[in-house]
Amino acid sequence: MTNPVQTEADLATIMKIIPHRYPFLLVDKVRDVVARESAVGIKNVTFNEPHFQGHFPGAPIMPGVTIVEAMAQTAAVLVGLSVGFGERAPLVYFMSIDKAKFRRKVVPGDVLELHVTVKRGSTRIWKFEGVAKVDGQIAAEAEFAAMIDASTQVS
């Protein structure tokens, strides 16, 4: 009998699966995980994040590329939970980002929900659709692909 896949990941679990750390860890929690299908990441946006110092002084806005990165980190956690990444998870690299659109500003105080759906998944290559939402409104969306590099592991 196999163990069921976890349906959520707290920060400690996320940090076991992906190598990102402050200031580039952009997901606080992952919930609603359906193995090899979908997950929802949660990012609590705070003014203390370093990109707000320069983007933009007096009018802080979360950069679109960091929103896409947060979607990708959510996807990496989904893959890690789906395939059973352990304490020495392989690195996952972007291969492509397509159809990226930014619909609404994301600012300090927002709770960013990162809805990620698997379009295609295999041993090494995965393709996803991502939609980032704040208060039910779409803030950003993109399709992206990633490659799992099992030859490079992070402990």
Question: Average pLDDT by consecutive 10-residue portion of the chain (155 residues)?
Answer: 76 93 96 97 97 94 97 95 77 93 98 98 92 98 92 61
pTM: 0.93
Residue 149: per-residue pLDDT: 82
Cis amide prior to 24 (ω within 30 degrees): no
Residue 1: per-residue pLDDT: 41
Each domain of the chain, given as residue ranges in start order, spans: 11-154
**Catalytic entry in 20, 51, 55, 115:** 55
Decide the pairing of beta strands 89-102 and 137-154: antiparallel
Please say if 20 is a catalytic residue.
Answer: no
**Helices (DSSP H) in the chain: which residue ranges?**
11-17, 64-83
- Out of 3.40.50.2000, 3.10.129.10, 2.40.30.270, 3.50.50.60, the CATH code matching 11-154 is 3.10.129.10
Q: Which of 39, 40, 13, 42 has its CA nearest to residue 28?
A: 42
Residue 88: per-residue pLDDT: 63
Residue 155: per-residue pLDDT: 54
Residue 29: per-residue pLDDT: 98
